[in-house]
Amino acid sequence: MEELLRSFSWVALAVGIIAVIAVIEVLLRTIANRFGTPQERFPHRVGTELPRMLRNN
């Protein structure tokens, strides 16, 4: 039982570290978008225009 709890705590620690990294990444991305150029601020527009360019060819 103790081994199970120990392995579960390691898994929980790993998941917690990944969650913290994800939150930091989101915060950095929002900060970069706030102070970035309009192109960096709306990266989804580039993604929606790519299929149109491929269709024209």
26 pLDDT exceeds 80? yes
Backbone angles phi, psi at 42, to 5 degrees: -125, 70
- Per residue in 1-19, pLDDT (tens digit) is 889 999 999 999 999 999 9
DSSP element (H, E) containing 34: helix 2-35
Give the pTM: 0.52
In 2-54, DSSP assigns E strands to none
